[in-house]
A and B are shown apart, each in its own frame.
Chain A
Amino acid sequence: MTKLIEEETIVGSTYRITELIKAMEKRAWADRSSEWFTKDMFKKIGIEHPDKPVIVRRALAIDEILKAMTNKNLFKGNNPHYQIRDGELIVGVITLGSLGLGKSFPIYLTPSELDITSVSTKSEMGLFGHDSVNYDVMLALGLDGIIADCNKELSATEHKINHYDNLLNYCSKVESDDTFLKEIHQLKSNGKATATIESLKEIFEEHDENKGNRTKAYDSNLKDLFEILETHIHTNFNDISKARKSKQEKTSLPHLKQIREIIAENTNILHNRRDFYNSVKISCQAVIDYAGQFSKLAKEMSLVEKDPIRKAELIEISGICSKVPAKPASTFYEALQSIYFFHLALHSSMSQLSLGRLDQVLQPYYKKEEHEKQQELFECFLIKCAERLILDSNTFIKQDHVDFGSNLLTIPVALDQWSESNEFLQNIIIGGQTRDGKNAVNDCTYLILKAFQKTKLYTPTLNARIYKEQMDGSKESNKYLNAIAECLYETKNGMPVIGNDEVLVPAMHKFSGIPLEEARDYVIDGCWEPLLNGSCDWTFRMFNMLTALECALNGGATLSSNPILLRGQKLTYETPLPAVDTSIDFEEFKNIFKKHIKFFTDNSALSIHMLYLVDQAVNPDPLYSALLKGCMKTGRDKTWGGADYKLAGIIPAAVPDTVNTLTAIKKWVYDKKEFELADVLDAFRSSYISSNKVQQEKFNRIKLKFQTDSPKFGNNDKESVDMMQWLLNTFYDCVKTSQALAQEVFLYPPKKGDEERIKSLRALAGYAGKSLKEEFGDNFMIHITAGMGTFELFDIFGGGNAASADRNKAGDPIARNFAPMVGTTKFSIGHLLSSFKTLGLNRFAGGVITDLCLEERDLEKNGPEIIKSVIQNFMLNEGNMMTITISDKKLLGLIYDLCEKNRNGDPEAKKELKKYEHVSVRVGGFQMPYVTLPPAMQKSYIDRPMPPVG
């Protein structure tokens, strides 16, 4: 890190790349607030088209922003988005914005919808991301191909709508059930080709052949209709009254009213399908138009370009932009430009999605003999993804575009906006295995690794999957592991993140019910969430395990020191107080704790199901749905049950903190009986501080014993590993039980006779809709995955907790992700990693990530070799996911001082700081340039001591 800065900074594999990165960094240090769109630059879609369905309005908004991005007149005639920069080979400009700074986007909600967001707290500004695109379909079909599919589906849908309209029309004219049935019967037997008969016939035929692109719900509704009609057409009409009396009493005879309802409902589904395909068309066309504008721009520029080499490049760019993404890509260059256009469109239109398994997607376009050119192109591509960078944190406040509705979820999650100001939720995944279990490493895997190693960019996040064949010691496997280790060593910035296929694939398949092929195709997205490759829609819930423990210790209340709350903030069930009731032994206490954990997993699993429907009313995503597996086939948006899979993670934070506090309590209160639980709770509550001398001494002893003489997770000792096992088993059980409850209440149609009970349970939750399977068909399912970690929220989570075994003060941060608290590990990395071996982390498809931080000076001699050994050891110990960053405390200290000076407005310091913009650290969920972090967090990185964990 130091060396790099001292020498002339040379990054990237060619001079062009060095120049592009320099130019990008120069922009990043400037005040970029004038580059943001303001809402008044856009048409008011929600006001202009109040009658259009929300999905169409969203598509129009996508079109609107892409048009604005290529509108020469905006930004006083110097639109920063409509430019091709010197030397660029991949073109297009993503709008500014990030998880922390928000986005600027046309308002597409109607005024009354906006009013409703005051209760849903989720508006059109909701920036979700956390899904991963599989670009192979787009590269193969081109967006024209997808639009053609839409057209086909649209005409079929229109056709059906006509039939239904006819039928409905007919039904509404008939007066009674009997005449209706009689007439149907007669029409059928006469074979009279009236429009109604035609409609019926066609629908019948389709039903018979069981063909067409219908969802299950659509199928089952049709089936009902036809069974009803068929029964009566084929039954001797005169027998109907008889039949009514005998068997039909149970199943009830068709009534005109029912038939009308079914027809209306199916018509409704068809209308939604029509809206969906129309929206996909609009959005895809918007991307094609956008590319066309860049083709035009490149052409214009080529006409005045003097340098013949650049001129030729611009002409080539113009040609490529006029071809992709509309048409299928036929070269590596076209494939990259095509992907970038779509990625850019998603990221400029509120959908911050990932790039997926690019080595798999790009390999068919890769040519060995053009390796160097392709290497350079890929680095150009990375720079385009990274160029939203804002490095001067003094300008963050001015660029805060987050509003109350920018929630990830329907439940507000407080975010650490500052730390997330350069988090764009873009990931690339390489390596691992293919869908059929073969080694997936290919030429592009190495090309991508090298590009990261050379450019040292910290976004997108690179993730490398490793599976058993890459661990078998063969030449191939060593080549791959060496390349990963070298990249980690050279960049120092945690790229790539490691995903263990041997743990994550079974977690997805065996423990979360995902088919094996899909599981093998997993990707990593967002911060580090394992998802499926272009075939799933993901959501998550988090809770704080330490809070659950406080509730267990304190009868459902936190250990707050605020006297007006009496016992504490009440969060969960009231349970017996173990500090008062001495008959409660430790085993019994664990049972109590389990109840509180279940409270939080219930809350998570239930709300995941109950609130599934909210998104479709506010954040439909026709552009992503164009490529998301399942949507085009079913004619349903991803927010409307369209995706093949729905995944939802339940992720508790503070799991290592909880284990350490539990083991300390077990040892000193229950086993050795050295302290009273009440005293321990008082110590926690009051941050180990008392004005009473005797009590203070007691607190000191508790603190000493808890901090220095208690088992701590990560040291591979039996007590803490056993406790961790118990906690993970318990948590996992709770997730499964909660999932079953959520499914019973919201997913499945109620069993016969159970309707009233389920209805009232739903009412209790404030839910009046149908069960999700009735709504979306029999195949609908939300796969709940369990994970553990904090992401970047370790400060925010800890803010709500009293002191604990490892934390001196109330409000102190909790341990990061699944790594033990800094300073609690006595031994080495080997001990931490071997603590994982028996935990069964292969049950946790929601991801369990451990962040290791190695000290640069320890790696001076055998850096890559040591890193490779750490990775192998992690794999053998069945770890789940891991990051390895390399830091140099001295250097961080120096940068911190410069940042302090810059915060006080010292221009010299700012100049000096620019040397250090490459230095980045892992912030729980992503890499951040160290210079951009909040001061307190910056400090915490300087203090991270060896042994090198946390």
Chain B
Amino acid sequence: MKILKYFDISWFSSVDGPGTRVVLYLLGCNLRCPWCHSPHSWESSSPLLYFESRCTKCGECVDICPNGVHEVSNGVHLVNHSQCNHCGACIEICPSSDINKWNTSALGFAGKDIEVSELYQLLKPQLDLLKHIGGLTVSGGDPLVQSKALAELLKICTADGIHTTVETSATLNKKHIEELLPYVNHWLIGLRPSRTDKVEDWKQLLSNIQLLAAHNPNQITIRTPIIPGYTDTQIGYDMIIEVMRANGIKSIEILPYNPYSENYYKAMGLKYPLEGIQLPSNEELIGIKGVFTSAGINAKIIA
């Protein structure tokens, strides 16, 4: 069986597809959206994450690192991320870190390689529990990046009667989608026209949506994050409406941007691109929802 790389699992989600679901977050993404709330999922293997608040500045990591990534002096810990070659030695020695639990550690890799059948065994108990009221949603990163291995996982799920959903920005070649198509019950497609879009991505996206809609438009829900200054434009909404109409897609979910992602940028030593951005207000969201509903689309705000 193939190997999948994932960085997180959420066991009880009511906002990622129909019903109550397990959400599997896969590594790897072909885009670099500035509003991404999981920058640590971009590469196919996780960067070293350093969470300052969990570090005791003990300095154990300094000497063990063959590449001199860590520097601790006067209670300040500097991490030179670009020099790191992912050997893991610092995580192993750090008393505040556990290689298996990056989200409670000072140092860690967010990713994990796992064989598909093993991953299924890991997910199964909760999938059994949610079988009749939800299912599995695969998100990322972009799950299309690992479509071959993912198809194996979704195939097992489908055979066990588990409802599957894939959340993607659908900007990769259609062969990835075709690989998954037989095993996916529902698609959550990110559609958020923005000034940062590349033309070829957009084209790919449109043709992929056509492909999916030709299969069954009712299996598609559009998701649009509202990022002030990026995706909150009337032109953008009009484009979305047009695409939805043209393809017979009836539902859209509006997601206010997630202000809690700054943490991960910091942990990777990156600058937070949305620094200082204002959250869209409730009224604004309701207004945006109105734009869609008055166009005859089922719109929902997912908070």
Contacts and interface: CB of A to CB of B under 8 A. Distances in A.
Chains A and B belong together in one complex: yes
Interface of A: 700-701, 704, 708-709, 716, 826-831, 833-834, 858, 860-862, 865-866, 868-870, 872-873, 876, 947-948
B238 interface: no
Given A866-B133, A869-B129, A828 B11 contact: yes
A873 B129 contact: yes
Contact of A709 (B11, B12, B98): B98
Nearest to A709: B98
Contacts of B19: 862, 865
A858 B12 contact: yes
B271 to A, nearest CB: 32
Nearest to A834: B125
Given A709-B100, A865-B20, A866-B20, A860 B129 contact: no
B14 A865 contact: no
A708 B101 contact: yes
A869 B133 contact: yes
Contacts of B127: 830
A866 B129 CA distance: 9
Given A700-B95, A869-B132, A869-B133, A862 B126 contact: no
B63 interface: no
A475 to B, nearest CB: 15
B128 interface: yes
Contacts of A704: 95, 98
B130 interface: yes
A830 B100 contact: no
Contact of B12 (A716, A826, A828, A872): A828
A709 B92 CA distance: 12
Q: Looking at chain B, what size class is its interface with the partner chain?
A: 20 to 34
B128 A860 contact: no
23 contacts: A700-B95, A708-B100, A708-B101, A716-B125, A827-B9, A827-B11, A827-B125, A827-B126, A828-B11, A828-B22, A829-B11, A830-B127, A830-B128, A833-B129, A834-B124, A858-B14, A861-B14, A862-B19, A862-B20, A865-B133, A868-B133, A869-B20, A869-B129
Interface of B: 9, 11-12, 14-15, 19-20, 22, 95, 98, 100-101, 122, 124-133
Given A858-B14, A861-B15, A869-B20, 16 more contacts: A701-B95, A708-B101, A709-B98, A827-B9, A828-B125, A829-B126, A830-B124, A833-B129, A858-B12, A865-B19, A865-B133, A866-B12, A869-B130, A869-B132, A873-B129, A947-B11
B104 to A, nearest CB: 8
Contact of B129 (A709, A830, A861): A830
Contact of A830 (B15, B95, B130, B133): B130
Nearest to A717: B122
A879 to B, nearest CB: 12
A303 B86 CA distance: 90
A830 B98 contact: no
A830 B19 CA distance: 16
B129 A708 contact: no
Among A828, A829, A833, A870, chain B packs the most CB atoms within 10 A around the CB of A828
Nearest to A876: B128
10 pairs of A and B residues whose beta carbons are closest in the complex: A830-B126, A828-B11, A830-B125, A830-B129, A834-B125, A861-B14, A873-B129, A828-B126, A708-B98, A831-B125
Secondary structure at chain A's binding surface: helix, strand, loop or mixed?
Answer: helix
A716 B125 CA distance: 8
Contacts of A862: 14, 19-20, 133
A868 B129 CA distance: 10
B187 to A, nearest CB: 21
Contacts of A873: 128-129
Contacts of A709: 98, 100
A833 B125 contact: yes
A858 B15 CA distance: 10
A868 B132 CA distance: 10
A829 B129 contact: yes
Contacts of A866: 12, 20, 133
Nearest to A874: B129
A826 to B, nearest CB: 8
A519 to B, nearest CB: 29
Contacts of A708: 98, 100-101
A830 B22 CA distance: 11
A701 B97 CA distance: 12
Contacts of B133: 862, 865-866, 868-869
A683 to B, nearest CB: 15
Nearest to A855: B12
A833 B131 CA distance: 15
A521 B133 CA distance: 33
A827 B95 CA distance: 23
Contacts of A833: 125, 129
A873 B129 CA distance: 5
B92 to A, nearest CB: 11
Contacts of A716: 125
A708 B98 CA distance: 7
B221 to A, nearest CB: 15
Nearest to B12: A858
A947 B20 CA distance: 15
A826 B112 CA distance: 15
Contacts of A827: 9, 11, 122, 125-126
A233 to B, nearest CB: 74
A827 B12 CA distance: 10
A440 B128 CA distance: 28
A136 B143 CA distance: 62
A474 to B, nearest CB: 15
A829 B124 CA distance: 12
A876 B126 CA distance: 13
Among B20, B22, B122, B125, chain A packs the most CB atoms within 10 A around the CB of B125
B34 to A, nearest CB: 29
A170 to B, nearest CB: 77
A880 B68 CA distance: 55
Contacts of B130: 830, 869
B91 to A, nearest CB: 12
B114 to A, nearest CB: 14
Among B9, B11, B100, B124, chain A packs the most CB atoms within 10 A around the CB of B11
A858 B126 CA distance: 15
B14 A860 contact: yes
A14 to B, nearest CB: 34
Contact of B126 (A700, A701, A831, A861): A831
Contacts of B14: 858, 860-862
Nearest to B98: A708
Among B9, B12, B98, B132, chain A packs the most CB atoms within 10 A around the CB of B12
A861 B19 CA distance: 8
A860 B19 CA distance: 12
Contacts of A876: 128
Contacts of B122: 827
Nearest to B22: A828
Contacts of B126: 827-831
Contacts of A865: 19-20, 133
A897 B294 CA distance: 47
Contacts of A834: 124-125, 128
A297 to B, nearest CB: 53
B234 to A, nearest CB: 30
A462 to B, nearest CB: 24
A828 B22 CA distance: 10
Nearest to B122: A827
Contact of B20 (A701, A826, A861): A861
Contacts of A830: 11, 124-130
Nearest to A948: B12
A858 B124 CA distance: 20
A700 to B, nearest CB: 6
Contacts of A858: 12, 14
B125 to A, nearest CB: 4
B168 to A, nearest CB: 23
A81 B132 CA distance: 52
Nearest to A701: B95
